[in-house]
Structure 1
Amino acid sequence: MHSQLFAIIDVETTGGGISGNRITEICIALLKDGEEVAKYTTLVNPEREIPPYITALTGIDNEMVADAPRFFEVAEKIEEFTKDAIFVAHNVSFDYNVIRGEFRLLGQHYNRKKLCTVRLSRKLIPGLLSYSLGRLCDTINIPHGNRHRAEGDVDATVILFQRLLSLDEDFSTINSFLNARSKQATLPPHLPAEQINELPEEPGIYLFKNQKHQVIYAGKAKNIKKRVLSHFYDKKTKEYHLGQETHFIDYELTGNELLALLVESEHIRKHYPKFNRAQKWPATTYQIISYTNQRGIIQLALGKTKALHDSVSTFYNKTEAIEKLEALCEAFKLCPRFCTLQSNVEKCSHYRIKNCEGICEETETVESYNLKVEAAIQALKENKPTFAIQGKGRTQDEIAFALVVEGQYKGFGFFDRSEAICNIEDYEPFLKLQPASYHTHAIIRSHLKKHGERNLVYFEPLRLSASPLEKRREDIFSDWNM
C-alpha cells in the first residue's frame, strides 16, 4: 500500500444536478509514498452557460472558459493521469460521479477504486462539529487558500490526506474502506457507518434526518437495512442530494408491511419531508351527500372534497363513485334524476335504472319518497364495519393490529399473544391513536383487496339475509370492497 498511487481530485461545475453537471475546472494531484509527485490542472469549457450563482461561488465565468479545452480534449489526459491510482476526493461521490458522467457522454466507461476524505476524517479524527473542507482545515490548521477553485481545494485535500495517512499507519482503515464489500465510498459523507450497521433487517419505517434532526425523507420497507442502502447505491440526482443532506437515520419496527405503510403515511403527514413526493397533498375524494330541494324532496349527490369526513361513503375515483350511487339508487327504488345521475330532464330515463316509482312525475308522494331516501342513508350509517386486521408483530410473541371502528381507521398497536382479546374494548390499552386520512383509507382498502378476510377479526356480526336485495345492499355499502 505504501507504493500505491493516489489521485487527489477536485472539480468545479456548472451545477444543475448530477446528470446536468458539466465540468468547468479540474485539478488532479498524484501522491506516492505520501508525497506529491505530479499535478494536472485546467479550466474546461462546459459547452453551456455558467449560472451567475456558480460564478459568485467559484469566480469562474463564461468568458474565462470560452477558450478552454472541452472535456473530450482532456479526457485522454485524465484517463492516463489517474490510470493506476485510487480516486480520492472530499465527498468523493460528487467528483467521481461528475467525471464518470463526462466520460459517459463520450461513450466511455470510467472506473476507479475510490476513497472519501470526509468519511476517513470522521473515522480517524472523530468528534468534530463539521467535516466540510473549509471547517476541517480551520479546525486542524491546514492552509486553504483559493477556496472553491479546483487547485486550491486539491492542495488543502492533499495535506488533509497526508494527515490521515499518518493516522492510519498500517492502512487498516483505508483498506477497510477500499474493501469492495464495505461500499464505504457509496455511503453519504455525513452519515457514520455505525448507523447503517445497526439498522435491522426487518419490516418497518425509516427516517432520514438532516443536521438539525429534521425529517427530510420517510420510507417503509420489508427489510429496513436493505432498503436504506438501496437509496445510496442509486445514482439518480434526487437520491444523491438526499444522501448529501442525511446526517442521521432513525427507524421504527412494525412487524409487517401493512403497519409500515400506515406509519409511513403518518410520518409524511406529520413532517411533510422535503424528499417525499407521494402522499404530501390531500387527494380529491367523492362522497355521497344529501340535501332537501325546493319541493321538499331529499336529493342525493356526489360531493367533491379533499377532506375525509365519512369513510363509508368516500370513493377514490369518479367512476367508482357514480357506480356506487347507481347501485344505491337501484336498491332503494330511488329516482336517478333526484340522485343527480341525470340532469336537465323532467322525467328520469336512465339507461339501466328502471325501477323509479314516480317521484319525478309526481305520481309518488314526497313523504313516501323521502322515507326511502332516509332508509338508504340509514343503511349507509348502519353498514360501517368495525374490524381489526391482525398480523405478524415485532417479535414471535407479539401480534400487530390495525383497527377500524365504524368504517374509520383509528390507529395501530401490538399486544402479546398471551393477551385475551375478545371484544373491541380489549384493543384500547394497546392502541396508538392515529388520524384517518384519504391515504390510510386507501392503504387499508388495498390490503383488503389483496388479502381478503385473512387475519380479519370482525366485532359486529355480518348481516346475512336470505333476501337478494339485502345481499345486494351488503355489496353496496361495504366501502372497503374486500
Structure 2
Amino acid sequence: MHSQLFAIIDVETTGGGIAGNRITEICIALLKDGEVVDKYTTLVNPERDIPHYITALTGIDNEMVADAPRFFEIAEKVAEFTKDAIFVAHNVSFDYNVIRGEFRLLGQHYNRKKLCTVRLSRKLIPGHLSYSLGRLCNTINIPHLNRHRAEGDVDATVILFQRLLSLDEDFSTINSFLNPRSKQATLPPHIPAEQINELPEEAGIYLFKNQKHQVIYAGKAKNIKKRVLSHFYDKKTKEYQLGQETHFIDYELTGNELLALLVESEHIRKHYPKYNRAQKWPATTYQIISYVNQRGIIQLALGKTKVLHDSVGTFYNKTEAIEKLEEICETFKLCPRFCTLQSTSEKCSHYRIKNCEGICEETETVAAYNLKVQAAIQSLKENKLTFAIQGKGRTKDEIAFALVAEGQYKGFGFFDRSEAICNIEDYEPFLKLQPASYHTHAIIRSHLKKHGERNVVYFDLKSTRPPKPNRSSRPVRFELR
C-alpha cells in the first residue's frame, strides 16, 4: 500500500444535480509514498452557461472558460493520469459521479476505486462539529488558500490526506474502506457509519434531517435499516442530493406497517419535508351535504372539497359517494332530483331508482318528505363504525392499535398484553391523539380492504357488552366521518 498511487481530485461545476452538472475546472494531484509526484489542473469549457450563483461562489465565469478545452479534449489525459490510482476526494461521491457523467456523455466507462476524506476524517479524527473542507482545515490548522477553486481545494485535501495516512500506518482503516463488500464510500459523507449501524431492523418510520435538524424526508419501512441504506445505494440524482443534505437520522419504532404508514403521514403533514412528494397536498374528498331549498325541502347533494368538514358523510372517492347517495335515496324512498342524482327540473326519471313518492310532482307533502330525509341523515350518522385495529407491537409483550371512533381516525398507541381492554374507554390512557385527514382515511381503508376484519375489534357505543375481536378476512366497509 505504501507504493500505491493516489489521485487527489477536485472539480468545480455548473451545478444542477448529477445529471446536469458539467465541469468548469479540474485539478488532479498524484500522491505516492506520501509525496506529490505530479499535478494537472485546467479550466474546462462546460459547453453551457455558468449560473451567476456559481460564479459568485467560485469566481469562474463564462468569459474565463470560453477558450478553455472542452472535456472531450482532456478526457484521455484525465483517464491516463488516474489510470493506476485510487480516486480520492473530499466528499468523493460528488467529484467521482461528475467525472463519470462526463465520460458517460462521451460513451465511455470510467471506473476507479475511491476514498472519501470526509468519511476517513470522521473515522480517524473524530469529534469535530463540522467536516466540511473549510471548517476542518481551520480546526486542525491546514492552510486552505484559494477556496472553491479546484487547485486550492486539492492542495488542502492533499495535506489532509497526508495526515490521515500518518494516522493509519497499517492502512487498516483505508483497506476497510476499499473493501469491495464495504458500502462506506457509498454512504453520505456527513453521517457517521455508527449511526447507520445502530439503526434497527424493525418496522417503523425514519426521518432524514439536515444540518439544522430540519426534517427533509420522512419514510416508513418494515425494516428501517434496510430501507435507509437503499436510499444511499440508489444512484438517482434526487436520492444522491438527499444523501448529501442529510446529517442526522432519527427513527421511531411502530411494531407494524399500518402504524408506520399513519405515523409517516403525520410527519409529512407536520414537517412538509423537502424531499417528500406524496401526501404533501390535501387530496379531494367527496361529501354528502344537506341544505334547505326555496320550497323548504331538505335537499342532499354531493360536494367536492380538500378540507374535511363535519358533513353528513365524507368519502374516499366520487364513485363511493354516489353509490351511498343512491343507496339512501332508494332505501328511504327519496327523490333522485332532490338528491342531486339528476339535473332535470321536471318529474324525476332516474335510470334505476323508481320508488320516489311524488315530492317532485308535489303529490307528497314537504313535511312528510323531510321526515324521510332526516331519517336518512340519521342512519348515515348512526352507521359510522367504531373500532380498533390491533397488531404487532414494538416488543413481544406489546400490542399496537389504531383507533377509529364513529368513522373518524383518533390516533394510535401501544398497551401491554396483560392489560384488560374491554371497552373503547380502556384505550384512552394509551392513545396518542392524531389529526384525521384524507390520507389517514386512505391508509386505514386500504388496510381494511387488504386484510379484512382480521384483528379488528368493533365497539357498539350503545351496548355495555364487551367487544370480541373479529378474525375474519371479510372486507370491511369503512366510511370516513
TM norm. shorter chain > 0.5: yes
The Cα shift of 1:311 comes to 8.2
Structure 1 residues without counterparts, runs of 5 or longer:
464-474
Using a 3 Å threshold, how does the CA distance of structure 1 residues 7 and 312 change in structure 2: closer, same or farther?
farther
1:266 aligns with 2:248: no
Per-residue CA distance 1:50-80 (angstroms, 9 max, x = gap): 1111111111111222222221221121111
Aligned-residue offset at 1:105: 1.3
Residue 151 of structure 1: how far off its partner (Å): 0.9
Report the Cα distance in structure 2 between the residues aligned to 1:100 and 1:457, rounded to whole angstroms. Answer: 56
Aligned to 2:342: 342
In 1, Cα distance between the equivalents of 2:237 and 2:186? 14
Q: Which amino acid aligns with 2:288?
A: I
Tell me the equivalent position of 1:132: 132
* Paired position in structure 2 for 1:185: 185
Q: CA deviation at 1:157?
A: 0.6
Do the aligned residues in 2 keep the contact of 1:329 with 1:339 (CA within 8 Å)?
yes
The 5-angstrom pairing of residues 35-184 of structure 1 reads: 35-184=35-184
Task: Give the residue type in structure 2 aligned to 1:192.
Answer: P
Offset of residue 180 of structure 1: 2.3
Shift of 1:477: 7.7
| CA–CA separation in structure 2 for the residues paired with 1:277 and 1:196 | 24
- Asked if the contact 1:218–1:268 (Cα under 8 Å) also holds between the matched residues in 2, the reply is yes
- Cα distance between partner residues in 2 of 1:424 and 1:478: 18
- Please give the per-residue CA displacement for 1:60-113, whole angstroms capped at 9, x wherever unaligned: 111222222221221121111111111110111110111111111122221111
SS of the aligned residue for 1:303 comes to strand
- Is structure 2 residue 418 aligned with structure 1 residue 418? yes
Distance, in Å, in 2 between the alignment partners of 1:158 and 1:185 is 18
1:23, 1:98 within 8 Å by CA — same for their partners in 2?
A: yes
Classify the secondary structure of the residue corresponding to 1:435. coil
Q: Is the alpha carbon distance of 1:444 and 1:228 closer, same or farther for their aligned partners in structure 2, counting shifts above 3 Å?
A: same
Residue in structure 2 matched with residue 446 of structure 1 by the alignment: 446
Structure-to-structure mapping, 1:366-405, within 5 angstroms: 366-405=366-405
Whether the 8 Å contact between 1:383 and 1:478 is mirrored in structure 2 is no
Measure, in 2, the Cα distance between the counterparts of 1:339 and 1:97: 61
d(CA) in 1 for partners of 2:180, 2:402: 42
Amino acid at match of 1:196: I
Matched residue type, 1:200: P
Which residue number corresponds to residue 469 of structure 2?
none
Paired with 1:402 and 1:4, the residues of 2 have a C-alpha distance of 59
Structure 1 residue 223, shift from structure 2 partner? 0.5
Q: Secondary structure at the match of 1:75?
A: helix
2 CA distance for matches of 1:38 and 1:379?
84
SS in 2 for 1:371: helix
Tell whether 2:358 aligns with 1:358.
yes
SS across alignment from 1:83: coil
Q: Distance in 2 between matches of 1:103 and 1:356?
A: 74
Mapped partners of 2:230, 2:375: distance in 1: 54
Could you say what secondary structure the match of 1:415 adopts?
Answer: strand
1:199-222 per-position Cα deviation (integer Å, ceiling 9, x unaligned): 001110001111222211111001
Which digits, 9 at most, give the CA deviation of each residue in 1:250-275, with x for residues without a partner? 11111110000001111111112121
- The more displaced of 130-139 and 89-98 is 130-139
- 2:319 equivalent in structure 1: 319
User: What secondary structure sits across from 2:384 in the alignment?
Assistant: coil
| Structure 1 CA distance for aligned equivalents of residues 105 and 363 of structure 2 | 77
Moved more, 238-247 or 357-366: 238-247
**What is the deviation of 1:461?**
8.8
Change in Cα spacing, 1:215 to 1:312, as seen in structure 2 (3 Å) is: farther
In structure 1, how many angstroms separate the alpha carbons of the residues matched to 2:420 and 2:121? 54
Q: Which residue of 2 aligns with 1:18?
A: 18
2:448–2:476 Cα contact (<8 Å) kept: no
**Contact 1:45/1:66 (<8 A) preserved:** yes
TM-score normalised by the chain length of structure 2: 0.94
Deviation of 1:286 (Å) = 1.1
Does the 8 Å contact 1:253/1:394 carry over to 2?
A: yes
CA RMSD of superposed structures (Å): 1.8
Is contact 2:290–2:312 with CA below 8 Å preserved after alignment?
Answer: no
Q: Which secondary structure state, in structure 1, belongs to the residue aligned with residue 231 of structure 2?
A: helix
Q: Match of 2:414, SS?
A: strand
Unpaired segments ≥5 residues, structure 2? 464-474
Q: Residue 189 of structure 1: CA displacement?
A: 1.0
Residue in 1 that maps onto 2:207: 207
> 1:312, 1:477 within 8 Å by CA — same for their partners in 2?
no
CA apart distance, 1:122: 1.4
Q: Offset at 1:181?
A: 2.5
> Alpha-carbon deviations, 1:358-392, whole Å to 9, x = none?
11110111111111111110001100101111111
User: Does the 8 A contact of 1:383 with 1:477 survive in 2?
Assistant: no
| Residues 156-196 of structure 1: per-residue CA shift (max 9 Å, x gap) | 11011001111111112111211222211111111111100
| 1:328 Cα deviation from its structure 2 partner | 2.0
My pick for the range that moved more, 15-24 or 410-419, is: 410-419
The alpha carbon displacement at 1:414 in A equals 1.1
SS of the counterpart of 1:309? coil
* Matched position secondary structure for 1:45: coil
Amino acid at match of 2:243: G
Normalised TM-score (structure 1): 0.94
* Mapped contact 1:333–1:356 kept (Cα < 8 A): yes
Cα gap change, 1:167 to 1:340, in 2 (>3 Å): same
Q: Which residue of 1 aligns with 2:250?
A: 250
Q: How many angstroms apart in 1 are the aligned matches of 2:188 and 2:76? A: 30
Tell me the SS of whatever aligns to 2:206: strand
C-alpha separation between the residues in 1 aligned to 2:313 and 2:175? 62
> How far does residue 476 in structure 1 lie from its aligned partner after superposition?
12
Match of 1:333 in 2: 333
The CA distance in 1 between the partners of 2:211 and 2:56, in whole Å, is: 25
Q: Which 10-residue stretch deviates more, 159-168 or 350-359?
A: 350-359
- Alpha-carbon contact 1:312-1:479 (below 8 Å) kept: no
Q: What secondary structure does 1:48 align onto? A: coil
- Structure 1 moving runs of 4+ over 6 Å: none
C-alpha deviation, 1:147, in angstroms: 1.1
Matched, 1:225 2:225: yes
Partner of 2:196: 196
